[in-house]
């Protein structure tokens, strides 16, 4: 059996510090360049995007979306969906997650012509209800973070010395320690080289920074501060070779790149994340060439390009009872979702978001509506509220920060959500039932945090 390999760049047009004026540039210089590359040879990949990313492509760069649609129809790209809005699912109420996921699937089907079966969890934020959320939304499988799974084993935590902290950004450049520990341990390796199934029946495919981080640094042509020279192709080839041996012993595939699509064509968030430098989405045309070199190296090593669905169709599923051991509040890169919830932006905005959600639920309950039967006004309120909860208006923490415009968009969304609830109350003849929800009072609450947040200094200004 040939060793299989899955590449899954994922796209988020709401990226922190990606200004609205720069989003079209990213569509043309990252997404389109990736689609052209896939079309140029016998490559096959998965491509993930939030619903709003697909919708914005349709509005701003329909010619780019047309290329994606053609590649999906041809079977060269499998579509993978996340929520409509890029947010940390483990930090927000379940009903917001499910509502956003369902809408995202509708958007993919409307604009690309296919309803994704595979889901992606932004930043791989974790809580016990995540598998249920994706299954309820109608997805068959979820791309998971193997490092979070591995660090749920006490012996791996002890052996690597890695720990979690709600104020920690990530352990990304230290996750090679996981690979060092599990490299000769099939009982751990098998979860990276085989698909799993959770107790609720949701299927799972695991990605790991053990491979992805090496490829990212190769794409950027950068050093890690401890190297005289950037990562070279020989190191990439060696990585593919050793994982091919592990596949032969333990499974059928690897997923070495489930990372940001924006790193293919731009520097994206690299210099902010790694060096606290105010450098965002600079042109990196060589990274497109390097991604092609990575694909070609995989092919030369004897791997067969595949997709998540093909792996699930052709591979045996491992019963994975350890999914429930993944720590509540963690995220990918050895970091935590709770770090997003502990920035000053989250601490200011999240309680107001929750108050608006409580109002939506109260008004919907009074009207006998559920999340699946909301009228246009309350559905509009939910859409705007979900957008206000976008993770990228809450990240990163000091000494860096989101862009002022990221926070401004969330505040504008809160005003919009509040207005929609007011309209729902008026249109349904219950405007006087202010014990349910007071739009006028809530507007002053939003204005109070608006003033507070807009008076803050922002990184890069």
Question: Which of 103-112, 221-230, 256-265 shows the lowest mean pLDDT across its residues?
Answer: 221-230
**Residues contacting residue 41 through CB under 8 Å, at least 6 positions apart:** 295
Distance of alpha carbon 284 from alpha carbon 267, whole angstroms: 6
* Tokens coding 327: 């720590």
Residue 3 has what pLDDT? 96
pLDDT at residue 432 is higher than 90: yes
CA distance 283 to 291: 15
Q: What is the mean pLDDT of residues 324-339?
A: 94
Q: Average pLDDT for residues 208-217, to the nearest whole number?
A: 94
d(CA 156, CA 168): 19
Which of 18-22, 108-112, 141-145, 270-274 comes out lowest in average pLDDT?
Answer: 270-274
Residue range 340-397, pLDDT digits in tens: 999 999 999 999 999 999 999 999 999 999 999 999 999 999 999 999 999 999 998 8
Q: Is 232 exposed, middle or buried (0-12, 13-18, 19+ CB in 10 A)?
A: exposed
**Across the strands, what pairs with 336?**
330
- Residue 1: pLDDT above 70? no
What does the alpha-carbon distance between residue 380 and residue 365 come to, in Å, rounded to a whole number?
16
Q: For residue 190, with 0-12 CB atoms within 10 Å meaning exposed, 13-18 middle and 19 or more buried, which class applies?
A: middle
Average pLDDT over residues 278-292: 93
pLDDT above 80: residue 276? no
What SS3 class is residue 341? helix
Query: What is the per-residue pLDDT for 93?
Result: 97
Q: Identify the pLDDT of residue 224.
A: 62
Q: For residue 327, give every residue at least 6 positions away whose Cβ sits within 8 Å of its Cβ, in sequence order, or none.
A: 126, 148, 151, 152, 164
Q: Which residue has the higher pLDDT, 445 or 227?
A: 445
């Amino acid at each position: 059996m040939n060793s299989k390999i899955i590449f899954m760049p994922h796209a988020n047009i709401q990226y922190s510090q990606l200004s609205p004026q720069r989003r079209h540039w990213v569509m043309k210089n990252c997404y389109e360049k990736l689609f052209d590359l896939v079309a140029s040879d016998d490559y096959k990949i998965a491509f993930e995007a939030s619903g709003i990313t697909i919708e914005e492509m349709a509005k701003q760069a329909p010619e780019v979306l047309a290329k994606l649609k053609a590649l999906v129809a041809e079977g060269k790209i499998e579509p993978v969906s996340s929520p409509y809005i890029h947010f940390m699912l483990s930090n927000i109420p379940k009903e917001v997650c499910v509502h956003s996921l369902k809408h995202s699937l509708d958007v993919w089907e409307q604009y690309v012509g296919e309803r994704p079966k595979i889901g992606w969890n932004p930043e791989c934020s974790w809580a016990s209800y995540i598998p249920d959320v994706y299954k309820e939304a109608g997805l068959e499988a979820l791309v998971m973070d193997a490092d979070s799974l591995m660090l749920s084993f006490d012996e791996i935590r002890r052996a690597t010395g890695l720990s979690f902290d709600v104020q920690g950004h990530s352990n990304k450049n230290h996750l090679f320690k996981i690979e060092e520990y599990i490299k000769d341990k099939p009982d751990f390796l098998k979860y990276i080289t085989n698909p799993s199934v959770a107790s609720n029946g949701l299927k799972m495919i695991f990605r790991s920074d053990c491979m992805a981080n090496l490829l990212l640094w190769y794409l950027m042509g950068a050093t890690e501060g401890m190297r005289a020279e950037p990562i070279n192709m020989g190191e990439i080839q060696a990585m593919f070779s050793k994982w091919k041996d592990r596949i032969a012993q333990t499974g059928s595939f690897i997923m070495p790149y489930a990372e940001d699509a924006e790193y293919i064509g731009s520097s994206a968030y690299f210099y902010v994340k790694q060096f606290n430098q105010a450098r965002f989405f600079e042109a990196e045309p060589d990274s497109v060439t390097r991604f092609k070199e990575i694909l070609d190296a995989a092919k030369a090593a004897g791997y067969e390009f595949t997709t998540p669905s093909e792996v699930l169709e052709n591979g045996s599923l491992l019963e994975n009872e350890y999914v429930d051991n993944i720590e509540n509040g963690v995220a990918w890169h050895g970091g935590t979702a709770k770090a997003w919830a502990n920035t000053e932006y989250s601490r200011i905005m999240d309680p107001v978001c929750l108050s608006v959600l409580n109002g939506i639920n109260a008004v919907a309950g009074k009207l006998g509506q559920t999340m699946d039967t909301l009228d246009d006004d309350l559905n509009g309120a939910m859409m705007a509220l979900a957008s206000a909860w976008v993770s990228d208006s809450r990240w990163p923490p000091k000494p860096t920060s989101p862009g002022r415009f990221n926070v401004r968009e969330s505040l504008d969304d809160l005003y919009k959500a509040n207005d929609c609830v007011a309209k729902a109350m008026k249109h349904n003849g219950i405007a006087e039932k202010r014990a349910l929800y007071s739009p006028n009072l809530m507007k002053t609450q939003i204005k109070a945090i608006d003033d507070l947040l807009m008076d803050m200094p922002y990184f890069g200004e």
